[in-house]
């Protein structure tokens, strides 16, 4: 179903981006990430939720395309902010074109993402389309606030974070745009704004955090070709993953001090030997198993929450697809 809905969204996205790319350089740059092979998880989730609540997949296509564009806007800006080298198997956009052009291309992706939400009116009418815009505003707001938290932790070399801090940051930075918003918008379209959208926040939170922890685990020990960005980039960036937070809790004072000295160095100045030590220490202190266990518990919680959130949804493959996502999130490589 990821393939089926993903290719529906990808076709609409590609023809939109091709049209725009002919108009200005900036859209050609903006089209780069979206056209690199992604799996369109968010677009598929949005379309499946729409169908599970009674709409046709086509009624959610504009919203799904918008979502992919907003997602890519975040990626472009995040890659600049994190000084990332790679994305989806290629160089990061600012490595190809410099920070100024990449930053502006990220802004272009935001405005490209706004257009389909306005076109929604032709399909869904003004009232429902306006509600989707309100949802989009909330989603971008949560994402920006989550990114601000994460940037502050790195800037201040935060040394006393807890699992609860991590979950709160991930709720904002990952879950809103990855799971909560796609489901809310799908349900909004399916029911023509006839369901309480807050019922989806818990399921989306459990699903999105399980997904993010698995993503962080893959950054540590995934397959580079499949993962598509530099492995151990999170360690270099000093990203406060659950594994790192756990390490800082479980380590001796001397280890903590050594880790914090390493983390506060600029990305390029972090010695490879120290990074290897940090990774080994994570393994030795069972931080990876710990994070994996938390991800499993969250996936289980998502499953437990599912009947409450989707009790009124139509039985069928769309509903089953959404129900399968929590464990898929853990098993993907």
- What's the CA gap between 243 and 220, in Å, rounded? 10
Identify the residue whose tokens are 């399921």.
203
Residues 32-91 that bind a second copy (CB under 8 A): 77, 80-82
155 makes contact with a second copy (CB under 8 A): yes
Closest separation between CB of residue 254 and a second copy, Å? 30
CB 158, CB 260: distance < 8 Å:
no
**Binder of a second copy out of 89, 100, 194, 304 (CB under 8 A):** 100
Q: List the x/- string, 80-99, binding to a second copy by CB under 8 A.
A: xxx---------------xx
Q: Does 293 bind a second copy (CB under 8 A)?
A: no
Stretch that binds a second copy, among 31-39, 46-54, 128-136, 282-290 (CB under 8 A): 128-136
Size of the site for a second copy (CB under 8 A): 39
Q: Please report how close the Cβ of residue 153 comes to a second copy at its closest, in angstroms.
A: 11
Max CA pair span of the chain: 63
Closest approach, Cβ 147 to a second copy, in A, equals 5
Residue placing its CB nearer to a second copy in the complex, 137 or 312: 137
231 vs 26, 73, 87, 97, CA distance in Å? 29, 22, 11, 22
Closest approach, Cβ 106 to a second copy, in A, equals: 8
- Of 104-112, 213-221, 268-276, 288-296, the segment contacting a second copy by CB under 8 A is 104-112
Nearest C-alpha neighbor of 61 from the set 102, 116, 20: 116
DSSP secondary structure string for all residues of 59-125: GGHHHHHHHHHHHHHHHHHHHHHTT--EETTEE-HHHHH-HHHHHHHHHHHHHHHHHHHHHHHHHHH
Return the structure tokens found at 142.
């949560």
Least Å from the CB of residue 143 to a second copy: 8
Euclidean distance between the first and the last CA atom of the chain, given in angstroms as a whole number: 18
Contact 39, 112 (CB under 8 A): no
The residue among 44 and 72 lying less far from a second copy, judged by its C-beta, is 72
Q: Work out whether 24 is an interface residue with a second copy (CB under 8 A).
A: yes
Q: Which residues contact 151 (CB under 8 A, 6 or more apart)?
A: 81
Q: Judged by CB, which is closer to a second copy: 8, or 17?
A: 17
Interaction between residue 168 and a second copy (CB under 8 A): no
Query: Smallest distance from the beta carbon of 192 to a second copy, in angstroms?
Result: 15
Taking residue 206's Cβ as centre, other Cβ atoms within 10 Å add up to: 26
Smallest distance, a second copy to C-beta of residue 327, A:
33
Cβ distance 33 to 75 under 8 Å? yes
CB of 162 to a second copy, least distance (A): 19
**Which residues of the chain form contacts with a second copy (CB under 8 A)?**
23-26, 77, 80-82, 98-101, 103-104, 107-108, 110-111, 114-115, 118, 121, 126-127, 129-130, 133-134, 137, 140-141, 144-145, 147-149, 151-152, 155
């Amino acid at each position: 179903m990821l393939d089926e809905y993903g290719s529906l969204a990808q076709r609409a996205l590609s023809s939109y981006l091709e049209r725009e790319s002919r108009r200005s350089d900036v859209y050609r740059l903006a089209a780069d990430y979206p056209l690199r092979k992604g799996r369109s998880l968010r677009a598929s989730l949005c379309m499946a939720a729409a169908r599970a609540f009674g709409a046709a997949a086509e009624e959610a296509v504009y919203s799904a395309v918008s979502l992919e564009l907003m997602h890519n806007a975040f990626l472009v800006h995040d890659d600049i902010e994190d000084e990332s080298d790679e994305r989806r198997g290629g160089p990061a956009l600012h490595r190809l074109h410099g920070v100024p052009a990449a930053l502006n291309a990220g802004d272009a992706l935001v405005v490209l993402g706004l257009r389909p939400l306005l076109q929604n009116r032709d399909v869904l009418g003004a009232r429902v389309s306006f509600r989707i815009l309100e949802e989009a505003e909330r989603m971008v707001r949560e994402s920006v606030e989550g990114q601000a938290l994460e940037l502050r932790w790195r800037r201040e070399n935060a040394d006393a974070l807890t699992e609860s801090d991590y979950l709160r940051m991930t709720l904002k930075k990952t879950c809103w745009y990855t799971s909560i918003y796609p489901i809310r918008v799908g349900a909004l379209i399916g029911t023509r704004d006839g369901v309480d959208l807050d019922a989806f926040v818990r399921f989306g939170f459990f699903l999105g955090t399980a997904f993010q922890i698995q993503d962080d685990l893959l950054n540590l020990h995934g397959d580079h070709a499949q993962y598509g960005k530099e492995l151990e980039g999170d360690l270099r960036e000093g990203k406060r993953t659950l594994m790192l937070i756990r390490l800082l809790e479980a380590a001796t004072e001397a280890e903590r001090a050594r880790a914090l000295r390493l983390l506060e160095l600029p990305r390029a100045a972090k010695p490879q030997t120290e990074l290897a030590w940090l990774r080994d220490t994570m393994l030795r202190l069972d931080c990876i198993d710990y994070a994996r266990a938390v991800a499993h518990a969250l996936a289980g919680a998502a499953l437990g929450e599912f009947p409450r959130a989707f009790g009124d949804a139509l039985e069928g493959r769309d509903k089953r697809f959404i129900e399968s996502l929590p464990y898929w999130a853990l098993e993907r490589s």
